[in-house]
């Protein structure tokens, strides 16, 4: 199957700083990538849809200025958590698909801890 790599797997940052998370499709071109957030013992919540070469589409209630998404190439999307606060601590996970209605391939996830 297709491989999606997410980096870093864990990151600890201080309040007020920004953190960038990378999501790469290693063996296929991902026209669309998705970013999810998962709190402990909860479900995956879709944050935004990242389309190569265009602006991301954010789900209702997700602050686009706080969660900056860039999808500059067909193999890389980045999520930057700006001015991080302890409540931003969560498990962030990306997925990628190549074309319509195909299986979504997930990255390993990033455990973000803001102290």
Partner 1 sequence: GENVEQHPSTLSVQEGDSAVIKCTYSDSASNYFPWYKQELGKRPQLIIDIRSNVGEKKDQRIAVTLNKTAKHFSLHITETQPEDSAVYFCAASPPDNQGGKLIFGQGTELSVKP
> Given the rule CB under 8 A, which residues bind partner 1?
32, 34, 41-46, 49, 51, 91, 93, 95-104, 106-109, 111
For residue 100, the minimal CB distance to partner 1 (Å) is 4
Strands 10-13 and 110-114: parallel
The residue among 19 and 37 lying less far from partner 1, judged by its C-beta, is 37
CB-wise, 82 or 108, nearer to partner 1? 108
CA 72 to chain centre: 14
Q: Which is nearer to partner 1, 57 or 82 (CB)?
A: 57
CB of 58 to partner 1, least distance (A): 13
Query: Considering Cα of 28, then 33, then 34, then 38, what sign does the dihedral take?
Result: positive
Rounded Cα distance between 61 and 5, Å, is 27
Q: Which is nearer to partner 1, 74 or 106 (CB)?
A: 106
Tokens of 3: 């491989």
Report, in Å, the least distance between residue 36 CB and partner 1.
8
Q: Cβ 95 to partner 1, closest distance in Å?
A: 6
List of residues 6+ apart from 101 with CB closer than 8 A: none
Tokens of 8: 């870093």
């Amino acid at each position: 199957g297709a491989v999606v790599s997410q980096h870093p797997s864990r990151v600890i940052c201080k309040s007020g700083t920004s953190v960038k998370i990378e999501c790469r499709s290693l063996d296929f071109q991902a026209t669309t990538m998705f970013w999810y957030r998962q709190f402990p013992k909860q479900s995956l919540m879709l944050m935004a849809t990242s389309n190569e070469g265009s602006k991301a589409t954010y789900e209702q209630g997700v602050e686009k200025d706080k969660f900056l998404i860039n999808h500059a190439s067909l193999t890389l999307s980045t999520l930057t958590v700006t001015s991080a606060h302890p409540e931003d601590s969560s498990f962030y996970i990306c997925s990628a698909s190549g074309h319509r209605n195909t299986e979504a391939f997930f990255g390993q996830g990033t455990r973000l801890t803001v102290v």
